[in-house]
């Protein structure tokens, strides 16, 4: 019997699978796609039913030759790229290159890289599916049409290097629309009144909040109204009117799918969507676990299905029984309903074996791999456990016409929370439930204090990676497998900044979003984008021809494109006059658009090349943003230095620029703690705009940290510096030493 050839996407996956299949199989990797649309032209024949003009990707010619050599004397080829649309397209293109000479070509779907799963997949191959390939091809052509037709227009009207994308641009609009909601939001004042109460013989003291006056829900608009209520409460008896107790259940969350994994890794691990998917890919493709060999630790990580195999459910049931007992097992397995059109052939993301808990394999994984694997392992186990049970107590307290409410809850059965608690995006606004004493109706309480508190309504929060992924999924925009790329692209193009884990649109991002919304309303319409995703699903399910979807899209797109070429604002040539006089030639300055947004330029340009950063005062009047001087000398010429803003944030530049181009990073006043290093920690910025702090003696010293160092020793343990730590509840100054718990409120 001759050998068979198995072709997968990555070398790591090839190494893992090769060990499972043995000497009768040759396993090779295509290293992703081998063909794509050309980089330097549209590559789509619009007049000929949108036929794509695929070319071999640069650098892949040698890989194709290697695959052809490996298949020369082989009759059976198993194509095993990832089990999704992209994988089907890769398999299709490989088949086009190798499918001659009477070879039998099969498609195999490997959902988890374990010996049994791989062998079963090889034993049960299927034919290549044209409908899956056409769905991927339609998406690729749609993205190419939008990108290659609109991006040059942005280059012409705004500046070179900009890009537009079918899903990317709608994502940008979501961020920009949210920013405008925040800017337009007018806070409304309101007040609350809390009573601190106690029963003389039944500790502890507790708090109750005023909810009604004379049977009507209260609305206190200002301090005067709050004081009037407090005056009305003076001398009143506080009596327990009603005590109700009821059991509440908290149900376990479903197992992870791609989008929820990205959300939870962002909340709990501070991972970007891109990082999450990269690490998940490593866990899926296989990790060398020493005596256990090379094993894929999780199932395929690009999935929108909550389905779990019967074998996985059986494993979970046995482990829960052993570890926690029968009380933690539901009467039957917990099943979760997937959204419409989910790919039910896939499973949810779960560990491939519960015999390999996170602690058992920790020594073989990087810290990031271990953290993500632990998250997946615990979530899967928790999803098959009973709900947590709470006794919730509501106590109504009457003070004449005034009704107060105190709420408390006590856990009576931990259920799934013994293993896992789901992260939250924003805990602000949640009512904290305290411990309540055992009270009965009719009992009189002692009033300790009445506490009025001022509040203001809050604007909607800016998106985090977690909440943006959630928003995209809920609105049906794009695919979870593409979210990581989308979020990276809008940052790389400098349309948005990621500041303190929240997305802020830049001036350039707001401009591009406005231009595209005005000129391409269909492309930027959230409902249309979601409908297009559904159309791609329909192509996959053979409900609609792929060419028809493209024809319907392009007919309106082409009309908008022709209008935009004539009517889109020519921002690049816009000049707004100001009353500011150029300090070099006496001409008037004007506002222009540049690489990083608006700036002040001399109207005599190019004769005078004077340019300044601009700002606006409280009334919106344009001013020159003066560079802040610092007590530092230029390392090149010895002149004084100024703080300026550049591509990666603030930095120090020579005051003699452009004659001298000396620069320095911003110092923090904190000496580098690395032993033997005499450097200073300075502020830097990643390519995505995230601020971090590292030694100015880089690359000789590679010490770095994310938290802002504070140049003060710890008053508790004497550590040389403190750090500013930001949480959902605000900022704190804390000691970074593990054994020290010193902290204080930040300004």
Backbone angles phi, psi at 611, to 5 degrees: -140, 145
The Cα–Cα gap between 489 and 492 comes to 5
Sheet containing strand 628-633, edge to edge, reads 628-633, 640-646, 649-654, 663-664
Three-state DSSP class for residue 581: strand
Query: What is the three-state SS of 158-210?
Result: CCCCCCCCCCHHHHHHHHHHHHHHHHHCCCCEEEEEEEEEEECCEEEEEEEEE
According to the model, what pLDDT value does residue 579 have?
86
For 670, list phi and psi in degrees, rounded to 5.
Answer: -110, 125
Averaged pLDDT, 640-647:
75
Tokens describing residue 381: 């186990």
Torsion angle (degrees, nearest 10) of CA 520, 522, 525, 531: -150
The pLDDT, as a whole number, for residue 2 is 67
What is the band of 22 on the pLDDT scale with cuts at 50, 70, 90? confident
Position 431 pLDDT exceeds 70: no
CATH top-level class of 189-251+393-456 = mainly beta
> Range with the lowest mean pLDDT among 331-345, 492-506, 559-573?
331-345
Candidates 479, 427, 590; CA nearest to 135 is 479
Q: What is the pLDDT, as a whole number, of residue 747? A: 62
Residue 118 DSSP SS3:
helix
Average pLDDT over the chain, rounded to whole? 89
Q: Distance between CA atoms of 431 and 409, rounded to whole angstroms?
A: 12
575 near 603, Cβ under 8 Å?
Answer: yes
Answer CATH for 142-184+462-567 from 1.20.1250.20, 1.10.10.10, 3.40.228.10, 1.10.460.10? 1.10.460.10
Interatomic CA distance for residues 341 and 717, integer angstroms:
58
Name the class of domain 258-383: mainly alpha
What is the spatial distance between Cα 267 and Cα 259, in angstroms, rounded to a whole number?
13
Residue 21: phi and psi, rounded to 5, are: -90, -25
Enumerate the CATH 2.70.20.10 domain ranges in the chain, comma separated. 189-251+393-456
Q: Give the residues across from 191 on adjacent strands.
A: 220, 454
**Among the ranges given (8-12, 97-101, 297-301, 636-640), the one the predictor scored with the smallest mean pLDDT:** 97-101
Q: Which of 225-234, 395-404, 470-479 has the lowest mean pLDDT?
A: 470-479
Contacts of 173 (CB under 8 A, 6+ apart): 513, 516, 517, 524, 526
Question: How far is Cα 211 from Cα 195, in angstroms, rounded to an integer?
Answer: 11
Task: Report the pLDDT averaged over residues 293-320.
Answer: 92
> Out of 300, 328, 373, 402, which one is annotated catalytic?
300
Q: Distance between CA atoms of 421 and 451, rounded to whole angstroms?
A: 33
What is the location of CATH 1.10.290.10 in the chain? 258-383
For 562-580, letters b (16+ CB in 10 Å) and e give eebeeebeebeeeeeebeb
21, 28 contact by CB (below 8 A): no
List the end-to-end C-alpha distance of the chain, in Å, as a whole number: 75
Q: Is the pLDDT of residue 413 over 90?
A: yes
Pairing type for strands 25-29 and 4-8 reads parallel
pLDDT at 183: 93
Which two three-digit tokens encode residue 39? 């980089």
Look up residue 468 and give its two tokens. 């943006």
- For 90, half-sphere exposure in the C-beta direction (CA atoms, 13 angstrom radius) is 24
CB 595 within 8 A of CB 159: yes
Q: Is the peptide bond before 703 cis (omega within 30 degrees of 0)?
A: no
Question: CA-CA distance, 347 to 308, in Å (whole number)?
Answer: 5
CA distances from 200 to 94, 204, 446, 484 (A): 81, 10, 7, 58
The SS3 of residue 81 is coil
3-class state of residue 497 by DSSP: strand
355: left (phi over 0), alpha (psi -120 to 50) or beta: alpha
Confidence of residue 428 (pLDDT cuts 50, 70, 90): very low
Residues 128-162: tens digit of each pLDDT: 999 999 999 999 999 999 999 999 999 999 888 88
CATH architecture of the domain with residue range 4-128: 3-Layer(aba) Sandwich (3.40)
DSSP three-state, residue 459? coil
Which of 417, 412, 395, 415 has the alpha carbon at shortest distance from 404? 395
- Cα-trace Rg, the chain: 31
DSSP string, 318-360: HHHHHHH-GGGS-SS----PPPTT--TTSPPB-BS-TTS-HHH
Nearest to 517 by CA among 461, 560, 467, 574: 560
Determine the Cα–Cα distance for residues 305 and 472; give it in Å rounded to an integer.
17
Reported as a single tens digit per residue, the pLDDT across 176-226 is 999 999 999 999 999 999 999 999 898 889 999 999 999 999 999 999 999
| Mean pLDDT value across residues 346-357 | 92
287 C-beta neighbours (distance < 10 Å), count: 25
Give which of 242, 236, 233 is closest to 193, Cα–Cα.
233
Give the span between the Cα atoms of 391 and 408, in whole angstroms: 8
Give how far Cα 249 sits from Cα of 325, 406, 473, Å.
Answer: 19, 20, 27
Q: What is the pLDDT of residues 696-707, one digit of tens each?
A: 888 888 899 989
Q: Are 333 and 383 in contact (CB under 8 A)?
A: no
In this structure, are residues 683 and 695 in contact, taking their beta carbons and an 8 Å threshold? no
Q: How far apart are CA 490 and CA 513, in angstroms?
A: 11
Question: According to the model, what pLDDT value does residue 489 have?
Answer: 87
Distance in angstroms (rounded) separating the CA atoms of residues 714 and 721: 6
What does the pLDDT look like over 707-722, one tens digit per residue? Answer: 989 998 888 888 889 9
| 326-332 LR contacts (CB < 8 Å, sep 24+) | 327/386, 327/413, 328/385, 328/386, 328/415, 328/416, 328/418, 329/385, 329/386, 330/384, 330/385, 330/386
Rounded Cα distance between 265 and 423, Å, is: 9
Q: What kind and span of H or E run contains 151?
A: helix 130-157
Q: Please name which of 274, 418, 256, 260 lies closest in space to residue 351, comparing C-alpha atoms.
A: 256
> At 627, is the pLDDT very low, low, confident or very high (cuts 50, 70, 90)?
low
Q: Which one of 36-40, 101-105, 335-339 scores highest in mean pLDDT?
A: 36-40
Is-cis flag, bond preceding 617, omega within 30? no
Residue length of the chain? 747
pLDDT at 250: 93
In our burial notation (b when 16+ CB lie closer than 10 A, e otherwise), range 77-99 reads bbbbbbbbbbbbbbbbbbbebbe
Could you tell me the two tokens for 298?
């999780």
SS3 710: strand
- Percent pLDDT > 90 in the chain is 59
pLDDT band at 644 (very low <50, low <70, confident <90, very high): confident
Residue 424: pLDDT above 80? no
Dist. CA 637–CA 640, nearest whole Å = 9
- 300 flagged as catalytic: yes
% of the chain surpassing 70 pLDDT: 95
């Amino acid at each position: 019997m001759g050998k068979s050839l198995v072709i997968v996407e990555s070398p790591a996956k090839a190494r893992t699978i090769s060990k499972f299949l043995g000497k009768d199989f040759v396993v090779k990797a295509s290293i992703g796609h081998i063909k794509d649309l050309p980089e330097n032209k549209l590559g789509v024949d619009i007049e000929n039913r949108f036929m794509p003009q695929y070319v071999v990707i640069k650098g892949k010619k040698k890989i194709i030759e290697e695959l052809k050599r490996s298949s020369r004397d082989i009759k059976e080829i198993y194509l095993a790229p990832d089990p999704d649309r992209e994988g089907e397209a890769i398999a299709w293109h490989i088949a086009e290159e190798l499918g001659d000479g009477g070879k039998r070509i099969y498609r195999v779907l490997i959902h988890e890289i374990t010996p049994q799963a791989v062998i079963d997949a090889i034993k049960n191959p299927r034919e290549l599916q044209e409908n899956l390939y056409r769905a991927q091809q339609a998406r690729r052509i749609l993205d190419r049409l939008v990108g290659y037709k609109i991006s040059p227009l942005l280059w012409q009207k705004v500046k070179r290097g900009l890009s537009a994308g079918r899903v990317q641009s709608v994502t940008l609009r979501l961020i920009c629309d949210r920013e405008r909601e925040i800017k337009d939001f007018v806070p409304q004042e309101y007040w609350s009144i809390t009573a601190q109460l106690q029963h003389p013989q039944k500790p502890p003291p507790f708090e109750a909040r005023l909810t009604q006056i004379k049977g009507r829900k209260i609305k206190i608009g200002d301090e005067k109204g709050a004081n009037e209520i407090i005056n009305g409460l003076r001398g009143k008896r506080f009596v327990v009117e009603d005590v109700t107790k009821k059991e509440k259940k908290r149900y376990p969350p479903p197992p992870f799918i791609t989008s929820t994994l990205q959300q939870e890794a962002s909340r709990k691990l501070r991972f970007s969507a891109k990082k999450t998917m990269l690490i998940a890919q490593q866990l899926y493709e296989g990790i060398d676990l020493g005596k256990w060999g090379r094993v894929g630790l999780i199932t395929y990580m690009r999935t929108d299905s909550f389905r779990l195999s019967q074998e996985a459910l059986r494993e979970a049931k046995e482990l829960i029984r052993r570890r926690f007992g029968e009380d933690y097992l539901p009467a039957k397995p917990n099943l979760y309903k997937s959204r419409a059109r989910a790919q039910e052939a896939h499973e949810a993301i779960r560990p491939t074996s519960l015999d390999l808990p996170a602690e058992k394999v920790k020594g073989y994984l990087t810290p990031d791999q271990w953290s993500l694997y632990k998250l997946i392992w615990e979530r899967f186990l928790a999803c098959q456990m009973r709900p947590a049970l709470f006794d919730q107590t509501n106590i109504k307290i009457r003070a004449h016409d005034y009704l107060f409410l105190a709420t408390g809850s006590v856990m009576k059965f931990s259920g799934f929370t013994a293993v896992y608690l789901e992260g939250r995006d924003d805990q602000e606004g949640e009512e904290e439930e305290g411990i309540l004493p055992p009270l009965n109706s009719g009992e009189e309480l002692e009033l300790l204090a009445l506490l009025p508190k001022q509040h203001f309504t809050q604007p909607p929060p800016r998106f985090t990676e977690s909440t943006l992924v959630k928003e995209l999924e809920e609105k049906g925009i794009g695919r979870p497998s593409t979210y990581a790329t989308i979020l990276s692209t809008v940052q790389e193009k400098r349309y948005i900044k990621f500041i303190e884990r929240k997305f802020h649109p830049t001036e350039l991002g707001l401009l591009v979003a406005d231009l595209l919304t005005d000129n391409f309303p269909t492309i930027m319409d959230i409902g249309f984008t979601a409908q297009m995703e559904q159309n791609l699903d329909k192509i996959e399910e053979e409900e609609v021809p792929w060419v028809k979807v493209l024809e319907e899209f392009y007919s309106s797109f082409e009309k908008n494109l022709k209008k935009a070429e004539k009517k889109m604002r020519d921002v690049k040539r816009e000049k707004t006059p100001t009353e500011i006089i150029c300090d070099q030639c006496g001409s008037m300055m004007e506002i222009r658009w540049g690489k990083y947004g608006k700036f002040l330029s001399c109207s005599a340009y190019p004769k005078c090349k004077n340019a300044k950063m601009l700002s606006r005062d409280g009334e919106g009047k344009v001013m020159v943003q003066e560079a802040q001087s610092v007590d530092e000398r230029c390392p090149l010429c010895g002149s004084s230095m100024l703080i300026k803003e550049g591509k990666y944030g603030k930095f120090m530049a020579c005051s003699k620029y452009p004659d001298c181009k000396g620069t320095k990073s911003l110092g923090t006043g904190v000496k580098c703690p690395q032993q033997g290093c005499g450097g200073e920690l300075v502020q830097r910025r990643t390519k995505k705009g995230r601020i971090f702090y590292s030694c100015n003696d880089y690359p000789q010293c590679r010490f770095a940290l994310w938290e802002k160092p504070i140049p003060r020793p710890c008053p508790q343990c004497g550590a040389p510096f403190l750090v500013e730590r930001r949480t959902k509840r605000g900022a704190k100054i804390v000691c970074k030493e593990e054994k020290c718990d010193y902290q204080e409120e930040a300004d």
